[in-house]
Amino acid sequence: MRLSDCRAVLTGASGGIGLQLARQLCEAGAQVLAVSRHEGSLAPLRQQYPHQLRWLQADLTQSADRHQVLTSAWQLGGVNLLVNAAGVNHFALFEQIDDARLDELLDLNLKATLQLTRLLLPLLRRQEHALITNIGSTYGSIGYPGYATYCASKFALRGFSEALRRELADTSVDVLYVAPRATRTAMNGAAATALNDALKVGTDAPEDVALAVLEAIERNLRELYLGWPEKLFVRLNHLLPGLVDRALRKQLPVIRQHSRATTGETSK
């Protein structure tokens, strides 16, 4: 898919990976409907690309707001690219997650993504070629202590992406699942950042992740996993889960130590 031909709906567009995707899509000549709860850093980007970038304030967990996205997509002249980048994460042991945070995470990461995709699917199917891109995580393939609820949402998103791709195999709509590793964004809480530093976890700049996502879109890939050795860990977790169990068990004291600093911070 040529980026200059894209008419994209991009969720989670006001920060982190989403903001960089908005910037790079506009730089490539795409038309972008940027969806987020707050305008944030999109304001100067809108001034830079007034004829390419439109912003829609929306809470995707609300049905009325999702339908407003659909209306705006029609006004854009239809869309051939949906990028589901909206999401939230809380670093905390599962016993530290209260009902409100659990609902927030699952409602946005999973339910809203599925509901918006279903709503926009008829519009996407009208295109000669369209692509749904779901931004998942390495933690959609590896269950990691301190991120149990987040893992639940991303494992589900990965399964949804695979199943939907197969449902749409004889249509004009493709599905791409992207699994970034830890990414340096303003969403990272102090405890999550300290944990990554203590464990020497590799992290990527959001602009580098966005560039890799757009390259995958251009190449019409089905899946993209980012980071080394994270790709190896994903493979090992599939083939030799006991080996990963033992490795992560050794990290538990460090994870528990840093989890005491928060009852739930955002990351990635």
Would you please indicate which residues are annotated as catalytic (active-site) residues? 150
Q: Comparing C-alpha atoms, which of 143, 145, 138, 142 is closest to residue 95?
A: 145
Q: What is the DSSP letter of 240?
A: -
3-state secondary structure of 82: strand
Q: Comparing C-alpha atoms, which of 104, 105, 101, 146 is closest to residue 260?
A: 146
Q: Which residues contact 265 (CB under 8 A, 6 or more apart)?
A: 90, 91, 92, 188, 189, 190, 191, 192
How far apart are the C-alpha atoms of 214 and 76, rounded to whole Å? 20
How far apart are the C-alpha atoms of 235 and 220, rounded to whole Å? 22
Q: Beta 53-57 vs 7-11: how paired, if at all? A: unpaired
Omega prior to 229 cis, within 30 of 0: yes
Terminal alpha carbon distance of the chain: 27
